[in-house]
Amino acid sequence: MCGIAGVMNADPKQPVDPETLVAMAAIQYHRGPDGFGYRVEKGRGVGFSHARLTIIDLDENRGRQPFVSHDGNLMLAVNGELYDYKRIRTELTSRGHKFRTKSDSEIVLHLYERLGLEETLKHMRGEFGVALYDRAHDRLMLIRDRFGVKPLYWTEVNGRIVFGSEIKVLFAHPDVPRRFNAKGLYHQLMQTVVPGTTAFDGIHQVKPGHVVTIERRHGKFEIRDDRYWDMDFPLLEERGEPEDDEVYIEAVRRELMQAVQLRLEADVPVACYLSGGIDSCITLGLSAANQQSPVKAFTIGFDNADYDETAIATEMAESVGADQDVMRLNADHLYDNLVETLWHAERTIYNTLGVAKLLMSRHVNKAGYRVVVTGEGSDELFAGYPAFRRDMFLHGLDTMDRAERASWEQLLSESNKLFSGAMLAENELNDPALNDLVGFTPSCLQPWLATAAHVPGLMSKDMRAQVEGYEPGRAIAEALDGDMIEGRHPLDKAQYVWIKTMLEGQILTWGGDRVDMANSMEARPPFLDHHLAELATKIPPSMRIRGRTEKYVLRESMKGLLPKVLYEREKFAFMAPPAHTDPKKWAAMKALADQYLSDEAIEAAGLLDPAGVKALFELHDAEDTTASTQVQLDAVINHMIGVQVLHSHFVAQDVPALARAKAKELGWTAAA
């Protein structure tokens, strides 16, 4: 895992400044502290840079990127890991290809030379953000992995394309404006982001499973955005009669075992994240079976018993002989580190779990590990969240009578009351645009759409005027591909929407890559292997949720691996305690609010309305405000603090100067 950056000028005769490229690498030093590289294509107005985290091919000079093909036609920079690379490299070598490195990244050059882009993408298995320049076609390709595990951003400004692994990398270029977008601000305050967008004007994400291709024509850019993969569930009429249960159980076992085994490949030690959920317990169990020596397992323990899963995690660690390391967190630790977390997340966060994971990645790094295997993606593939059960029961069980359906709703409400207001909406909400697209408003979006009612009153007069009449649900619906939703089972629809919104925009950003790579620590999620995902689309809904049991097929496939208490346990979403649940945590949050939500701070940023902010705190503290509403308002308060912190980090601060100062501190220079 690394960080990439680059520039392409519309005028090929306009040179790219090497020192700017180096500064763009330096500001993402946390992604790649083991060295940097840069290259400028003379006479072509193109330049890449790279900050390297050494995991495969430890030779400092041999693995330095950007890579260039033997004939000089191709230039490549990669952030991420490509699995099965040894087999691919062996096959290509047998066909006459000469490799200069042992890096997994180099296979992209040779595959592209031999097969072209479309076929190369089929061989790229893993998590990655890739920049590839083809000199012969004067073409820049920005490629992101299928689920968006790795970030990749781009912008077009003043006749140039600027791209990088993080938004701050783009802001390190002096030509890139740093200002909030009104609609982006709206979504930061309500949590759910429109796919492909950011909080900032003109800053785009390469969407998961997409390639953004930029070609120059007569001094102008032609930009094309193409999808090469999607979570394609079968149409209802394509499903036919289901196979015997054992067929699906065996298939999941086979694909998951291979996905985990591939992700243990590294030239450095590999550890595991371990919570009390079955997902991380499965990855630990399979990792332990694959390795000769005991696996290191890292666990976060919270001081709130309602949210702490340490006991179950320890039972799993002991059952497989893992060496468990438990990092205990007190409530007031989390807000103490929120400002730093937001520098890395580059978006607001509703729950301080992101802070907890940043502290954990730091702990893992200090323990001498750079790679961990994680459990992210299991709930998305196998329908593990409370929202999926609600949608299944309400919209997916046509044979269920009203009385039985009501009893299932009651069961769901009782078993998941801890997450009401965050994981589930307190009251049913229907959005017209999402109803039109999906047939119902997915439960996963309802809490955040409910939160959106508070947002206009929180925005400054100028920002509010720019979003008058704005419908956030419609914006999200219009960003989704209706062809991937139409004609599918309701559970398939719910999972697809979650994958495109909550997974990419939340779990894999401030809950994943951004807080892991903040401490140069690579997280590998085997459940998001696309071979396993393609199998999961074919599994009947009744094998994903059977009665009151979610992730049924996964549980059955790993039944022999899991302790009885885990096999039988209902889903428990891993999250940090909300602020209002602990006096110390509430006091720590209030201290941040006093700093960032003072009238002076609000006026300086120009994003929020002081009266609206005060009114929201008063609503939170009102005697008749329910606990579920307090959970929801805790999230909004986090978002308000968050946008103010983001402004201080990326708008008020001179980011280009900061990047150059970092390069100077590191001794990274174009003259080196």
Which residues of the chain have a pLDDT value below 70? 1, 57-60, 304-307, 331-332, 399-401, 403-426, 567, 569-581, 672
User: What pLDDT does residue 327 have?
Assistant: 92
User: What pLDDT does residue 231 have?
Assistant: 98
Cis previous bond, 525, omega within 30: no
Whether the Cβ atoms of residue 285 and residue 313 lie closer than 8 Å to each other: no
User: What pLDDT does residue 307 have?
Assistant: 67
Per-residue three-class SS string for 439-493: CCCCCCCHHHHHHHHHHHHHECHHHHHHCCCCCHHHHHHHHCCHHHCCCCCHHHH
Check the CA dihedral 246-250-251-256 and report its sign. positive
Single out the residue of 520, 568, 529, 544 nearest to residue 283, CA to CA.
529
In DSSP terms, 221 is beta-bridged to 216
d(CA 377, CA 232): 16
The pTM assigned to this predicted structure is: 0.94
d(CA 550, CA 553): 9
Q: Which of 2, 272, 281, 444 is catalytic?
A: 2
Query: H-helix or E-strand containing 660?
Result: helix 655-666
Establish whether 2 is a catalytic residue: yes
Radius of gyration of the chain (CA): 24
User: What pLDDT does residue 546 have?
Assistant: 87
Please provide the size of the chain in residues: 672
User: What pLDDT does residue 273 have?
Assistant: 95
Say whether 104 counts as a known binding-site residue: yes
d(CA 299, CA 284): 12
Matching residue, tokens 């983001």? 646
Phi, psi of 24 (to 5 degrees): -65, -30
Other C-beta atoms within 10 Å of 323: how many? 12
- Express each pLDDT in 646-670 by its tens digit: 999 999 999 999 999 999 999 999 9
- Express each pLDDT in 224-238 by its tens digit: 999 999 999 999 999
Single out the residue of 326, 363, 369 nearest to residue 1, CA to CA.
369
DSSP state of 191: S
User: What pLDDT does residue 669 have?
Assistant: 96
Angle at 504 between CA 500 and CA 510, to 5 degrees: 150
What number of CA atoms fall less than 13 Å from residue 437's CA on the CB side?
A: 24
Other C-beta atoms within 10 Å of 189: how many? 26
Both tokens of 200, joined, read 């900032």
In DSSP terms, 335 is beta-bridged to none
Say whether 300 counts as a known binding-site residue: yes
What number of CA atoms fall less than 13 Å from residue 231's CA on the CB side?
A: 31
> 248-273 burial, b for 16+ CB within 10 Å, e for fewer?
bbebbbebbbbbbbbbbbeeeebbbb
Whether the Cβ atoms of residue 325 and residue 296 lie closer than 8 Å to each other: yes
User: What pLDDT does residue 422 have?
Assistant: 44
Beta-sheet strand order (sheet of 74-82): 67-68, 74-82, 126-134, 139-144, 210-217, 220-227
Query: Please, which residues have CB within 8 angstroms of residue 284's CB and are 6 or more apart in sequence?
Result: 272, 274, 295, 297, 316, 317, 320, 322, 373
